[in-house]
Amino acid sequence: MATVLEVFALLLILASFFLAYMASKSWRVYQVILVWFVFAASMAMVYLSARTLKTHQAWRSTYQAWQKAVDDVQRENVLIQGGVENGAEIVEPGIDQLQAELHRAVVGRGTVWFNVTVDKIDPKTGIGELTIEYPQPNDIVTKMLLFAFEQKPVAEGGKYLGEFKVTKGDGKSKTIEIAPNLPLTDQDRQRLAQAKGPWTLYAVMPVDDAKLYAAMTPEERRKLFPDKSPEGLAEYASVDRPLRDYEYFFHKNSDERTLLAAAIATTQDNLRRITAAQKTADEDVTYREGEKVALQADREKFLYEQKAIRTYLKAIQKKLVDVRADWQNSLSATIQTARKIQRIQIKAAEEIDRATGVQANLDAPAKPAK
């Protein structure tokens, strides 16, 4: 379009020279020159006006294109900032939602220390010494509780190592000393023996996140929970499943293990007592059985002696009957003899009395005569 205008302008200029030449035959020279300059100025004005209009159109188009691009970017920024909504539901989170999620994650997660070096750890007692290079100062002080994890991913064998309390730490030194906050099990000791580091330490036990697990693919969930049944894996695919308080579960499990260990110890003690009592009872049974045999032998002897005694008793009773009969006979004879003796004594007494009375009469003095 610009080339056509330039060609047309050139033709007009050539035409103006021709017209000026023809007008010079009847007009004065200065009039011809003045008219040609007016024509030239008009052409220049038309050309500049056309270029100005063209420039304005170009810049207008550019402005509209850039304004559309700015509007698109602003709309995209609004979507990025506030998220993509579908009705009342946000189908794609924006910066605001992600910042809120990040804030919740940071608040729920607490402070985290990565790349913790294990200087030494006693698997039997759980007492150890750790080095934290970053950040400094680490703000870990005595009596703090820390939740230790192996830094490698769970899919590669990373495990939860336990809950520890800081026994030595001033918040500034790179080295801290730790001890278990809960009693160790054999599995805990085995994990500590295999955990060479590095570790990751959490100030707060990580919280359960149903959305995080639900967003995973079935293969990812299977790698995280290789021992879970299909029903158990299906539970983690739901965002509406009940959340788990892992710190509470671990403490409750520790309490239940302590109670179970005490119950096992009590049961074992009772079993030892029952075994000892059973042994004593068996010894008593053996003794009583021997005693029973001896008593049976004694009984047989007693029965034999009883039989002999009964025989002897019958003989004694028969003898007693005979003795009683003899005694009765002797008693009757004695009574009769006593009666005879009594009659003899009475008769003798009467004779003595008579004899005594005659003699008295003979020996009595004579009474004087009145």
Q: Residue 167 — φ and ψ, nearest 5°? A: -95, -20
Amino acid 92: pLDDT: 84
Inter-CA distances, 367 with 113, 118, 350, 359, 370, Å: 165, 161, 28, 17, 9
Length, in residues, of the chain: 370
- Nearest-angstrom CA–CA distance, 250 and 182: 9
Task: Return the structure tokens found at 322.
Answer: 């005979």
Q: In whole angstroms, what is the distance from residue 50 CA to residue 57 CA?
A: 10
Each residue of 114-153: b (16+ CB within 10 Å) or e?
Answer: eebebeebebeebebbbebeeeeebebeeebebbbbbeee
Instruction: Look up the pTM and report it.
Output: 0.51
Q: How is residue 330 written in tokens?
A: 């002797």
User: CA 336, CA 344: separation in Å to the nearest integer?
Assistant: 12
> Hey, which residues does 251 pair with through a beta bridge?
none
pLDDT digits (tens, 9 = 90+) for 131-156: 998 888 888 999 999 999 998 887 77
Mean pLDDT for 169-180 is: 91
Contact 200, 151 (CB under 8 A): yes
User: Mean pLDDT in the chain?
Assistant: 84
Alpha carbon distance 99, 93 (integer Å):
10
Q: pLDDT for 83-106, tens place per residue?
A: 887 777 777 888 888 888 777 766
**Mean pLDDT (whole number) for 33-56:** 80
Residue 211 confidence (pLDDT): 84
Mean pLDDT of 230-246: 83
Residue 192 burial by Cβ neighbours in a 10 Å radius (0-12, 13-18, 19+): buried
Q: Residue 368: what pLDDT?
A: 53
Q: What is the separation of C-alpha 102 from the centre of its chain, rounded to a whole number of angstroms?
A: 28
204 CB-contact burial (10 Å; exposed 0-12 / middle 13-18 / buried 19+): middle
Q: What is the pLDDT of residue 268?
A: 93
- Examine the pLDDT at 169 and tell me if it is beyond 80: yes
Q: What is the pLDDT of residue 264?
A: 92
Q: Is the peptide bond before 368 cis (omega within 30 degrees of 0)?
A: no
pLDDT for res 370: 44
d(CA 15, CA 18): 5
- Does residue 4 register a pLDDT over 70? no
Q: Backbone phi, then psi, for 89, in 5-degree steps?
A: -110, 135
β-strand partners of 177: 129, 168
Q: Give me the pLDDT at residue 2, please.
A: 58
Domain covering 110-207: architecture: Beta Barrel (2.40)
**Tens digit of each residue's pLDDT (9 = 90 or more) over 254-290:** 889 889 989 999 999 999 999 999 998 888 888 888 8
Question: Does pLDDT of 369 surpass 60?
Answer: no
Residue 322 in this model has a pLDDT that exceeds 60: yes
Task: Please report, for residues 317, 321, 323, the alpha-carbon distance to residue 309 in angstroms, rounded to integers and kept in the order given.
Answer: 12, 18, 20
Return the axis-axis angle of helices 95-109 and 29-82, rounded to nearest 10°.
30
**Residue 203, pLDDT above cutoff 80:** yes
Beta-bridged to residue 290, according to DSSP, are none
| Residue 113 burial (CB count, 10 A) | 21
